[in-house]
Structure 1
Amino acid sequence: MHDDSLLYQAAELYFVQDMTMRAVAERLGVSRSTISRMLADAKARGIVTITLRPPDTPTDRLSRRIHDTFRVTAHIAGTQRASHSSQRLDAVSRYTAQLLASWVRDGTSLGVAWGTTTSAIASHVRHTNTQDVSVVQLNGAAGPRTAGTDTSAPLLSTLAQTFNAELYPFPTPAFFDWEQTRTLLWQESSVRRILAARASVDLAVFSVGAFHGPVLSQVYTEGHLSSSELRSLSAHRVVGDICTVFIREDGSYSDIELNRRASGPTPADLARIPRRVCVVSGRHKVRGIVGALRSGAVTDLVIDDLTAKDVLDHVDGAGARP
């Protein structure tokens, strides 16, 4: 057993003066194998510590810029420059599935907003052996063309099976015809149970719906909104929705009439959840992404590199926040 001073001397010659093990051995009058053991001992005793600096990649720089701009943690999925919308969606969905595998632990309560993106995520999540997990539907799915079965049930059941979870479905309309109807239904004991479960989730996963583009939100493609309602949203400068709550690019939403008839949690409701993961891809969602990030609803953003650059370019081009 060598004392610390001798270990320090050997380490200083090898690591600082960049001498070979043979040269250090000759200097100290021991064998090369002894020097190898001494260097290992020096690490074990804390005399030598090693710090690694990862390379500064383009995705690292994008993550930092998004954090500096919006104060959220950005997880960037790399794609090819020529990737089309479905490839971008697949990239962020796979990335999110990997993150969920590490974030969902025993006892986790996972809130999920139904939609095209979250359905893609569910298809990539692998089965785990977690216990006491719950999966909570964040927003209603029923509409004039569907009872919600084809929209939300496969997604929710897949995630519940994946995480051995108890499922809390939310069998309500995506949007109510009357605000009073929602107010009355929210007083029912069975609905209050789901609302309480929704309010206590640890981790929420949702996307941003878009009015236009190659991959549209199911909110706009399954008859949930009438033509007059869509015109009203345009008049209110709405750029998209999160959990069926419509938002403007500046992040505001509270004075939009249709939101008083929506079933999903508001950005303020989401802000009470410890981790809120927004998963997005596609240039057509840029303004909606900016609105979601400014609303305070997001702690973690999973986004492909091309869309991330589009978001930053859009913000830089628009100047200061409205």
Structure 2
Amino acid sequence: MAGPKRRTTGRISGENVVIEVAWLYYQDGLNQKDIADRLGISRATVVNYLQEARERGMIRISLASPAFTNHRAAVELVEKFGLTAAYVIPDEDADEVETFYRVVRGAAAWLPDLLEPGDRLGLAWGKTIYDMAEATEKTRMEDVAVLQLVGSMATPYGFTAEACSTRLAQRLGAQVYNLHAPAILSNPGLAEALRAEPIIHSQLARLETCNKFLFSVGTVESDSHIVGSGLATQADLDWHLEHGARGVICGRFIDAEGNAIHGPLDDRMIGIPLESLVGLDMGILVTPGTDKTEASLAAIRGGYVSHFVTCLSVAEKLLAVD
């Protein structure tokens, strides 16, 4: 039962009222109506204060990882594909959008547990990675760096490759090393000259120090982000499809077994080669929907993945593969 009103926001102001609301809700266990009655404010205001507390990093909400890594489907994925660990999130009653954000939030919650001092985390780009960075709780990782693995590009999505790495580093309290070059150039000669520039050469060499890799594999459908971002044309996509493309990792195409498909784009790209992403200490793949099932299977078969975050629907599709 809610206690008597003891305070009002007239006596609590600024940051203090946000802390008070957060404490009453998360520590004292009062519901939103009880808090509104006690503080003499509306329930909508309570909701706003709780959201502000989360955004300002005053509170952390997490579910214990074993609930997801010990899930039946997670254990079976590990056994079937030789993974180190899998994190499977239920999606039986969720639509496509809700499933996407469940997986993103799950990956964001698990990531800090997978990092340790001295790690150099290579980061791909895309909506999944950007939204995961946004969902990551603020913390401070000791001696951890985040490295942008693909050059920059103009995109219609409202974020860029460097925005992904910068945002995640901010959330983790880590150092960030961005790649100050375009992802793709108009001709191989120009790309070769740019790679030889001392600053870019040094930045590309630093990418080879990555010991862990976080990514979401891209599809090879006509609406793939690799075309939407301008990194590849439809003709480029068609060429790679003719040569067996089944997925995209860091702007580069892989076949059904995860082998790199070296084509006309490679000589014009600025970024880490796929061969440098196999056999790292950890490869963390985040797959938020069934549209990426085939591409995820290719990435797993290619040896890019040791840790896998996905939903139950994707897990079941992968487990059904012969």
Matched, 1:201 2:210: yes
Selected match of 1:103 from 114, 117, 141: 114
Return the letter of the residue paired with 1:84: D
Aligned counterpart in structure 2 of residue 251 of structure 1, from 246, 258, 271: 258
2:172 alignment counterpart: 163
Moved over 6 A (4+): 55-59
Q: Does 1:277 align with 2:288?
A: no
Deviations 1:56-111 (A, max 9, x none): 99963323332333222342332232422222221221121122222233333221
Cα deviation, residue 176, structure 1? 3.0
Q: Could you tell me which runs of 5 or more consecutive residues in structure 1 were left unpaired when the two chains were aligned.
A: 1-54, 317-322
Partner of 2:139: 128
| 2: CA distance, partners of 1:246 / 1:238 | 6
- Structure-2 separation of matches of 1:158 and 1:283: 26
Aligned to 2:28: none
Query: TM-score of the superposition, structure 1-length normalised?
Result: 0.71
Q: How does 1:183-198 map to 2 (within 5 A)?
A: 183-198=192-207
Checking the alignment, whether the CA contact within 8 Å between 2:220 and 2:245 is kept in structure 1 is no
Identical residues among aligned pairs (%): 26
CA distance in 1, matches of 2:82, 2:269: 27
Task: Report the aligned-residue RMSD.
Answer: 2.7
Partner of 1:265: 272
Other structure's SS at 2:246 match? strand
Q: Which runs of 5+ in 2 are unaligned?
A: 1-65
TM-score by length of 2: 0.71
CA contact 2:104–2:135 (8 Å) conserved in 1: yes
2:50 aligned partner? none
- 1:30-79, Cα deviation, whole Å (9 max, x unpaired): xxxxxxxxxxxxxxxxxxxxxxxxx9999633233323332223423322
Corresponding position of 1:69? 80
Could you report, residue by residue, the CA deviation over 1:138-189 in whole angstroms, capped at 9, with x for unpaired residues? 111324x67x983124322222222222221112222333333333322222
Contact 1:107 1:133 in 2 (8 A): yes
* Equivalent position of 2:318 in the other structure: 311
Aligned residue number for residue 26 of structure 1: none
Q: Is the radius of gyration larger for structure 1 or structure 2?
A: 1
Partner-residue secondary structure (3-state), 2:265: helix
SS of alignment partner, residue 283 of structure 2: strand
C-alpha deviation, 1:240, in angstroms: 1.7
* Structure 1 residue 117 displacement after superposition: 0.8
Q: Mean Cα displacement is larger for which, 270-279 or 69-78?
A: 69-78
Q: Aligned to 1:129, what secondary structure does the other structure show? A: coil
Residues 150 and 105 of structure 1, relative CA distance in 2, 3 Å threshold: same
Deviation at 1:272, TM superposition (A): 4.4
Match of 1:113 in 2: 124
Is 1:290 aligned with 2:301? Answer: no
Is the contact between residue 136 and residue 168 of structure 1 (CA under 8 Å) also seen in structure 2? Answer: yes
The structure-2 alpha-carbon separation of the partners of 1:58 and 1:177, relative to structure 1 and needing over 3 Å to count, comes to: same
